[in-house]
Amino acid sequence: MNFTEMLGSFIGRSIEAFLTNQFVQGTLLSVGDGFFTLQVTDPNYNTPITQSTILVQNVEFVRILAA
């Protein structure tokens, strides 16, 4: 089992992704070969909910949050 296969088992869960120079928190929507997509909610009320696609090669580590 590789990283993306393992991450796919957590679709629908809240995760934190730590990249080299960025931190992203959101709900895991999908996982593909070498990338995953998060639904990111900005704590600012003026910005809409966005989807971010993150390349696995840029990820330092991922934390799965408690349900």
Asked if the structure places residue 28 within a domain, the reply is: yes
Rounded to an integer, what distance in angstroms lies between the CA atom of residue 17 and that of residue 5?
Answer: 16
Residue span of the structural domain in which 25 resides? 3-59
Buried b (16+ CB within 10 A) or exposed e, 18-43: eeeeeeeebbbeebeeeebbbebeee
Inside any domain, residue 36: yes
Q: What angle do CA 60, 55, 38 make, to 5 degrees?
A: 95
Task: Encode pLDDT of 32-53 as tens digits.
Answer: 999 999 999 776 777 777 899 9
pLDDT the model gives residue 41: 77
Examine the pLDDT at 67 and tell me if it is beyond 90: no
- Is position 51 within any domain? yes
Q: Which two tokens stand for residue 30?
A: 């999908």
Residue 25 lies in a domain: yes
Asked whether residue 66 is assigned to any structural domain, the reply reads no
What is the pLDDT at residue 51? 92
pLDDT at residue 9 greater than cutoff 90: yes
Quick one: what percent of the chain has pLDDT higher than 70?
Answer: 94
| Per-residue pLDDT, 46 | 72
Q: State how many domains the chain has.
A: 1
